[in-house]
A and B are shown apart, each in its own frame.
Chain A
């Protein structure tokens, strides 16, 4: 615990030094040119899939615009959910002084929510509505509940990290989009570090017996499927000119190249961490 608290204090210091940077960091352009890459072609949901070669560069650019809006919309709605969930438990989760960092985490997630929302509204006039939804919210013990909150946050953040890195590094992408991804990447790197330490800290009590372990495993597999599914938005496909968006979605979700990206690039870190905590999550089958 002492090591964790020291690490959380270092992370807090960085957050304090950079406080409120997002609100004054960006020079918002009037518009994003239509023929720019709004998203890295390598980050598209068709990348590395069997259907990728059917798309012309022009079609990919259209798709890149709307997939940028989809990911930014998911970030917007996801950050809101994260803030709600972390706020709900932040005064009772057993993390000692390391809890103080949660105030910075919420503060930064609020800034992210602000710029992702503003980007979508400024440049396309809409944010895609939330598509992640759980029908039945179960009652859990506190230990299980707290572990699940941070594990779900980590799943969401690690998937987002994949897109941040690809877009921030890709020189083909519009400079303003890259800048936003870079800013998000920097904050999320700290949040992910904190998330890993937090789960290691909470694991012992949450995973104390087999039934709790099984429950958490089931819930997290469901969360992963919901988060991965949300990347493949048929409305974004339709907005980019693709007819039968649902059909493309279903094809891509079962495409071996895409499953490999999910497992090896998006989920590897979080699954490794959970395994270290004693939780083996199922892999998508090719």
Chain B
């Protein structure tokens, strides 16, 4: 469980640095609607997510509902 939490935290930190934010990104913030990520960062972020969970992800419209916020990502990809 700690390993899961660590890799989720690393993912959040990666996004914070990538989007040049001083503060941690709130878990419930809509990353797409609030334009935290553009298309380029989004694709990279999904690659980072793949590396964290060691699983391949198809990037398409259907994926958006699972990754629109950090909380959604936690619920969909970091639950035991």
Contacts and interface: CB of A to CB of B under 8 A. Distances in A.
B38 A130 contact: no
B56 interface: yes
Given A129-B58, A131-B46, A225 B51 contact: no
Interface in B42-69: 42-44, 46-48, 50-51, 56-60
A229 B44 contact: yes
Chief secondary structure at chain B's binding surface: helix
Nearest to B52: A246
A133 B47 contact: no
Contacts of A27: none
Interface string A133-155: 11110000000000000000000
A208 interface: no
For chain B, which range describes its interface: under 10, 10 to 19, 20 to 34, or 35 or more residues?
Answer: 10 to 19
B27 interface: no
B3 interface: no
B51 A246 contact: yes
Nearest to B51: A246
Contacts of B57: 129
A198 B38 CA distance: 30
A245 interface: yes
Contacts of B59: 129-133
A133 B59 CA distance: 7
A234 B50 contact: yes
B29 interface: no
B12 interface: no
Contacts of B60: 130, 133
A245 B51 CA distance: 8
Interface of B: 32, 37-40, 42-44, 46-48, 50-51, 56-60
14 contacts: A129-B56, A129-B57, A131-B59, A133-B42, A133-B60, A135-B37, A135-B39, A135-B42, A222-B39, A225-B40, A234-B47, A234-B50, A244-B51, A246-B47
